[in-house]
Chains A and B, each alone.
Chain A
Amino acid sequence: MSARWRYIIQESAKGLRRNPLMTVAVILSITVSLTLLGATLLLRDQIDLATDDWVEQVEVSIFLCDGTTCPPITDEQQETLRRDLEDQPVVEEVIYESKEEAYERFSELFKDQPNMLEIVEPDILPASFRVSLVDPDEFLIIRDQFEAYPGVEDIVDQREILTQFLNFTRIVRNGALAIAVIQLAAAALLIGNTILMSAFARREQTAIMKLVGASNWYIRLPFLMEAVITGLLGALVSWGLLYGVVPRVTEGLSQEVLLMPFIGVTEVIAAGPPLLLAGFGIAAISSIVALWFFQDS
């Protein structure tokens, strides 16, 4: 048994060394496609993470008049508004945010941008009711009911901002996925072609093996191994690229965008096994198909 495996490993190594440039081309092509695939996996993780966090925090902001654009809300109007909000069945929780609290939150958000803080005076920001909903889709009910209340300046669905962000991310992800699939198809063809060339270069040896009664898997395994090794190498390189790049990018982003959590090293590490599996699978399938054609011809 060990002599057999030594033969198979030797033969696959021979195949890889026969045309080193081709081997590098195949590995690079797999790397590019799997890096894109890995990026789409990580973008999905990012979307999931952001959605979870945002959806939990989603609130409707009801800004209250402070006299700049409409007559300031009276204590009585504010009390009625709060009571009616709390009575509304789709509302889960109502929190009052005063002008001071609003400014505090604002300063916290923009603490790295001093000029923003200079522009905005503490009393410019309106007080508001921050309302969380049982079902975020019920925003329209809230708007229709409370828009006309005296002392209400504006009602904003914070989720809309999230939706815009998510739509953008999805477009990026789908685009990356489409390119990844095309690249993967190209990589598969390249692997198939390489294996065909490898099989053709050794056709005399293969013919003799067939005639002396070597089993089919024994004849094919070196070629299969050759392809799988390139597939796994490509997957490893793409994993390494993602590992080196993604955590840096998300760390940078998380310093810019404070409102949202970002994926980190953990998610990149978790993306490894699917990438290796994809590299293995694409190499195995395309070489099996190629050898099947080779044997038929």
Chain B
Amino acid sequence: MIKLKNVTKTYKRGADDEVVALKDVSLEVGKGEFVFVVGPSGSGKSTFMKLLTREQLPDAGEIYVAGKDLTSLRSWKIPALRREIGYVFQDFKLLPNKSVSENVAFALEVIGKGRREIQRRVPEVLELVGLEDKTGAMPHELSGGQQQRVSIARAFVNNPRILLCDEPTGNLDPSTSVGIMKLLDRINRTGATVVMATHDQHIVDSMRRRVIELENGVVVRDQSRGVYGYAG
């Protein structure tokens, strides 16, 4: 589902100053896998996620996502790639002037889905995330955990094959985070590949899923059924 081959990405800071975000990274994530990407700030997690959505291009190497070669993907085909990927942010990024169901419906409207499909699909996915009784609420009326559920509903409403989550529990307290992880696990069981960048040691340790650890742009560990650090 996701494949990186010798991917290198550097950022220029001024004329001579270069920051290596990813250095010769090769890895593969299969269909239906659940993967944690861990590592300290600046280890290259964000760059990794941005490369997968084709927000950025690598300086060297090859990237394949959902069967598409991202390095040779024409820019007008990027929207089609992103319809295969759901994206969950740390800060939810809900539209404050739209209700819960409008926020979710928005993701379908702007890719041109018909009204009938939207009316069928939005309640379905809101039930999946457990917000069927909050459909008319505005984002500011919801707790952080509820807002993140809306954000996940929006990411998943189009049935993407891949769900990318960038620190989805970063703004939530531990007990709320557990609920979010259960939800992501349930989505993973429907067949979606889930890639989650995180700092949250407890979550990684309790889930016992594949862990890819980055440090200074290099994969220092790739372990199935792993924990956050070597010490456990």
Contacts and interface: CB of A to CB of B under 8 A. Distances in A.
A and B part of one assembly:
yes
Interface of A: 1, 3-4, 7, 204-205, 207-216, 218-219
Contact of A214 (B110, B114, B115): B110
Given A211-B87, A213-B85, 15 more contacts: A1-B112, A3-B118, A7-B109, A7-B110, A204-B93, A204-B95, A208-B93, A208-B95, A209-B110, A213-B80, A213-B83, A213-B84, A213-B111, A215-B111, A218-B110
Contacts of B82: 210-213
16 contacts: A1-B112, A7-B110, A205-B95, A211-B53, A211-B87, A212-B83, A212-B110, A212-B111, A213-B78, A213-B79, A213-B81, A213-B85, A213-B111, A214-B79, A216-B76, A218-B110
Interface of B: 53, 75-76, 78-85, 87, 93, 95, 106-107, 109-112, 114-115, 118, 154-155, 158
A219 to B, nearest CB: 8
Instruction: Give the dominant DSSP class at A's interface.
Output: helix
A208 B79 contact: no
Contacts of B158: 212-213
Nearest to A210: B82
A212 B115 contact: no
A207 B81 contact: no
Contacts of B112: 1, 3-4, 218
Given A3-B114, A208-B106, A211-B53, A216 B93 contact: no
A207 B79 contact: no
Nearest to B103: A208
B154 A212 contact: yes
Contacts of B95: 204-205, 208
Contacts of B110: 7, 209, 212, 214, 218-219
A205 B97 CA distance: 11
A290 B49 CA distance: 28
Contacts of A215: 76, 79, 111
